[in-house]
Amino acid sequence: MKKQAYILILTLLFFGNFSAIAQPNKQEQLEQQRRNILNDIKKINTLLFKTRGVKKTVLSEVDDINQRIKAQENLIRVTNQQANFLTRKINENLSQISLLRSELQKLKDDYAAMVQKSYKSKSQQSRVLFLLSSEDFLQAYKRVQYMKQYANHRKKQGESIKAKTQLLQQLNQSLISQRKQKGLLISENTIAKTKLKQQREQQEALIVSLKQEENTFTKQIRGKQRKANQINGQIKKLIRNAIAAANKKARKNATKEAAVSTTKFALTPEAAAIAKDFKNNKGKLIWPVKEGLVINKYGTRQHPQFPNVTQTFHGVEIATSKNAQARAVFNGEILQIQQLKNANKAVMIQHGDYITIYYNLATIRVKKGDKVNTKDPIGGVFTHPITGETVIKFMVYKNDTEMNPADWIYRM
């Protein structure tokens, strides 16, 4: 029976130690997620809500509040995960404490019985008589060894009880700390839920005003989408012209009649190496601004307030701070600088057969043909004079095919 109990304790300690290695990692991951979300909330407050009293459209206000709501929902979700994780950990600790207490009691009982037995035969006379009553020298020798082993066993039993007691105390302290941490998380969640309720009420009030003039607002959204599509068409045309010019330059010895591709770069060995390097850094590239918050992701989706309206974003839109500088996300060469029609300036940087585009710039700090390195400033981001918002539009292309920037930029 004792043997089975020891096996059970050893198994518990083994898996407990293994779990102890895995659990902090999970806990750290959740805490890192929570810190990231809190950082996003801070960015939302500083980048989207920094200018009080600035006249914004109802649509813009709804979109900004929606960013807050999403961040608060994420915060609540992750905080719940942390609280649930700590609950499981507390329950595991309680089970381990219960088993340790049971084992400790057994050790104490065994130790008490051993001390009692030892007390009965503690006198030196008893030990001498015990030895003298041996039938021969060999038996006397064995009895001496037995007494030594018994004394050693008593010492180990005492040390084991001390170690188990210390472990029990540590687990109890850990339990107190975890319960305190869980209480803080629950309090944070309560505050987050209150804020979320207030933000939803604020958003609902704005949506009511939107619905009252739905036709007007849907026309505005569709008009904005048409303008975005036109700008994207300009960018595609610029890319194809740039590809054709680069290929023509690379084929100086080609005949005038020879066809020049407008959709794919003809790469030199050097350009191919840059393209390979760019591809190998997929998911690791820096952000095109030092501080930013994605307010519109890449792709096509329904408008959150008007489901009958579809929006397409050919890149990502990033809110940043006033006077922010756009910066190169990777080493490359300035392929094109363009003042877009009915829009602001755009800079294209070539990285082999990849192109990164930085659009909605007010000022430019580079010129066509310049070599740039990662983090080099290329221009100042435009700040809207009415809304006060500073937004850069960032795109990634391979030849003339648009790609999702979030796949390339670190933690976008």
Model confidence over 224-260: pLDDT tens digits? 899 889 999 999 999 999 999 888 877 764 445 446 7
Residues 252 and 396 in one domain: yes
- Residue of 176 and 117 predicted with greater confidence: 176
Residues 224 and 188 in one domain: no
At which of 148, 180, 212 does a domain end? 212
- Residue 2 binned pLDDT confidence (cut-offs 50, 70, 90): very low
What tens digit of pLDDT does each residue of 136-168 get? 777 777 766 776 776 677 777 777 777 877 877
- Residue of 187 and 254 predicted with greater confidence: 187
Total domains in the fold of the chain: 2
Residues 244 and 336 in one domain: yes
> In the chain, pLDDT over 70 holds for what percent of residues?
83
- Residue 296 binned pLDDT confidence (cut-offs 50, 70, 90): very high
What tens digit of pLDDT does each residue of 41-100 get? 888 888 877 654 455 677 778 888 888 888 899 889 998 888 888 888 888 878 887 887
Give me 96's structure tokens: 């381990």
What tens digit of pLDDT does each residue of 340-352 get? 887 899 999 999 9
HEC string for the chain:
CHHHHHHHHHHHHHHHHHHHHHHHHHHHHHHHHHHHHHHHHHHHHHHHCCCCCCCCCHHHHHHHHHHHHHHHHHHHHHHHHHHHHHHHHHHHHHHHHHHHHHHHHHHHHHHHHHHHHHHHCCCHHHHHHHHHCCCCHHHHHHHHHHHHHHHHHHHHHHHHHHHHHHHHHHHHHHHHHHHHHHHHHHHHHHHHHHHHHHHHHHHHHHHHHHHHCHHHHHHHHHHHHHHHHHHHHHHHHHHHHHHHHHHHHHCCCCCCCCCCCCCCCCCCHHHHHHHHHHHHCCCCECCCCCCCEEEECCEEEECCCCCCCEEEECCEEEEECCCCEEECCCCEEEEEEEECCCCCEEEEEEECCEEEEEEEEEEECCCCCCEECCCCEEEEECECCCCCCEEEEEEEEECCEEECHHHCECCC
Residues 292 and 176 in one domain: no
Residues 320 and 173 in one domain: no
Query: At 340, phi and psi to the nearest 5?
Result: -75, 150
In sequence order, the β-bridge partners of residue 349 are 334, 356
> In the chain, pLDDT over 90 holds for what percent of residues?
35
> Domain of 350?
218-407
Answer yes or no: is 371 within a domain: yes
**Residues 102-111: what's their mean pLDDT?**
77
Residues 128 and 71 in one domain: yes
Q: At residue 264, does pLDDT exceed 80?
A: yes
Residues 11 and 142 in one domain: yes
- Residue of 124 and 409 predicted with greater confidence: 409
At which of 212, 243, 263 does a domain end? 212
- CATH code for position 380: 2.70.70.10
- Residue of 131 and 277 predicted with greater confidence: 277
Residues 92 and 179 in one domain: yes
Residues 273 and 141 in one domain: no
Q: At residue 330, does pLDDT exceed 80?
A: yes
- Residue 378 binned pLDDT confidence (cut-offs 50, 70, 90): very high
Q: What is the pTM of this model?
A: 0.69
Answer yes or no: is 412 within a domain: no
Q: At residue 8, does pLDDT exceed 60?
A: no
